[in-house]
């Protein structure tokens, strides 16, 4: 149905803000983990294997941070547009309701013959 296409767009727009917030939280969490690892490397006497393990953890944390930061940066312009155009989004939601009503009416439509009798 045509209304589903609009519903999908509106669902995506609704999810963008929370997705960006989650990405920012993930970025901050990975930054904190990076600091913990760097301080551990700096301040503690570690074996070769412990140092290697922390090095791998640092690489993973930096890669996760980069993915989260990139996602937040990509979504930011759209989230700003969504915030600036709340009235337009509300209008689209009302339009979606009207489309669904029309589709429902079309699906319930029946024809009663005026002249032609069955049989």
In tens, the pLDDT along 17-56 reads 999 999 999 999 999 999 999 999 999 999 999 999 999 9
Q: How many domains does the chain have?
A: 1
Structure-token pair, residue 77: 């312009």
The answer to whether residue 55 sits within a structural domain is yes
Domain around 85: 2-104
The answer to whether residue 94 sits within a structural domain is yes
* pTM reported for the whole predicted model: 0.79
Contact 62, 29 (CB under 8 A): no
The answer to whether residue 67 sits within a structural domain is yes
The answer to whether residue 112 sits within a structural domain is no
For 36-74, b where at least 16 C-beta lie within 10 A, e where not — what string? ebeeeeeeeeeeeeeeeebeeebeebeebbeebbebbee
The answer to whether residue 118 sits within a structural domain is no
pLDDT of residue 119: 57
The answer to whether residue 36 sits within a structural domain is yes
The answer to whether residue 19 sits within a structural domain is yes
Distances (CA, A) of 60 to 12, 24, 33, 57, 110: 29, 17, 10, 5, 62
Structure-token pair, residue 104: 């429902």
The answer to whether residue 110 sits within a structural domain is no
């Amino acid at each position: 149905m045509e209304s589903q296409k609009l519903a999908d767009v509106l669902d995506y727009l609704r999810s963008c803000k929370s997705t960006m917030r989650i990405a920012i939280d993930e970025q901050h969490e990975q930054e904190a983990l990076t600091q913990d690892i760097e301080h551990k490397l700096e301040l503690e006497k570690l074996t070769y294997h412990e140092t290697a393990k922390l090095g791998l953890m640092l690489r993973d944390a930096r890669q996760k941070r980069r993915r989260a930061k990139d996602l937040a940066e990509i979504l930011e312009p759209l989230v700003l547009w969504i915030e600036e155009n709340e009235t337009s989004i509300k209008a689209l939601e009302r339009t979606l309701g009207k489309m669904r009503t029309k589709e429902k009416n079309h699906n319930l439509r029946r024809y009663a013959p005026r002249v032609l009798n069955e049989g």
